[in-house]
Structure 1
């Protein structure tokens, strides 16, 4: 059965999955879900995806949520020899990729969630200092991991880079990576954004995501000024 991907372009995790699909050359049906409108909360969607997160895939008798689990599954099942560097067989290399994937979901994306939730709920008009400190800390972690390798887990691009760039490209639009203080992170981000898969499947959605968040914050400032 043809894979159905439920996604929205503004979602960093969905963009990560779309980049992997593009790299693998898979023919996938895409269906739009709008998380702000809570379209993932319908009874049909909750049955398919109890986590109610975006993205998730439906392959008939098999469904899977969480972008990190999805990209691993897609590479393991559909990847060819030329794709093996994305999720290497070597146990230690794979462990490094996994750890950086956990870094993305547990630290990087959390910084973005600390912004998105309050902004969408009308509670945040500017990014507060405590969240900025968290973003800076996350960036410094990336800088440290890039001390020994060109990319986050190896000297070649892996799934860790693809997932992280989807997140960081949105964060960078809200609080830019300082190239003077974080030269390795800035170089990594620029290198990733120059990749064709990133230009085609990440850049448009990231631009929309950042613009929408900034628009919401401006709206929140305007609303709060009237109170």
Structure 2
């Protein structure tokens, strides 16, 4: 059984893909978070006060008693290690090769895939971008091609069952798909994988609404920026 979490504070936003990855894992583990929601549009997360909590000035941030950790992938591995209980072996197996494939996907999400999302999201919110450019679309397709390749051996990203790799990558793929649809002919496994995940409660209740909210915000700003 997982250890009981006394007081977990999570700085987050419902439209933030990395926040939703942590929230999905928390739900899977039966954890309760005390949510704090800094205003991203007013750059509250870049304020000196917030940077005392997280010098990177990003969300999500987890506070567990006197311990603070930021960056969604680090948070998820921490939560699973401390509170994962019976879920730990399935979501982050001890088999060295499987774990390496999961880590590969976590690092890919952080270093490539989410960067492609930020490349259009931040300029939309902060610099008047009025839509995804052809270059940005090509970069996204290139990123999707890697996810497609990961899915050639299993119906999930790194194993024959759900792992942290799926929670991580789907939290980024879903909001991109909500504004720039996955090409089913080029990336059929990506589409099937996302549909498979969306049948699970944590994706249906957390990831899908988060992706829809992200899309609504993007579309609202694109309309506004065109004017």
Give me the TM-score of the superposition, normalised by structure 2: 0.94
**Which residue of structure 1 aligns with residue 42 of structure 2?**
37
1:2-55 superposed Cα distances (whole Å, 9 cap, x missing partner): 010000000000000000000000122111122221111333321111111100
Q: 1:140 aligns with which of 135, 145, 148?
A: 145
Residue number among 53, 59, 63 corresponding to 1:54 in the alignment? 59
Over aligned residues, Cα RMSD in angstroms? 1.1
- Aligned equivalent of 1:185, options 187, 190, 205: 190
Which secondary structure does the structure 1 equivalent of 2:169 belong to? helix
Q: Secondary structure at the match of 2:35?
A: strand
State the Cα distance separating 1:168 from its structure 2 match.
Answer: 0.6
- Pairing partner for 2:104 from 88, 99, 102: 99
User: Is residue 89 of structure 1 aligned with residue 104 of structure 2?
Assistant: no
Residue pair 2:46, 2:58 contacting (<8 A) in 1 also: no
Q: Say whether the 8 Å CA contact 1:24–1:83 is kept in structure 2.
A: no
- Count of matched residue positions in the alignment of Structure 1 and Structure 2: 222
Q: Which residue of 1 aligns with 2:126?
A: 121
- Partners in 2 of 1:132 and 1:118 — Cα distance? 15
Q: Which stretches of structure 1, 4 residues or more, deviate above 4 A after TM superposition?
A: none
- For structure 2, the 5+ residue unaligned runs are 1-5
* 2:68 equivalent in structure 1: 63
Selected match of 1:174 from 169, 176, 179: 179
Does the residue aligned with 2:41 lie in a helix, a strand or coil?
helix
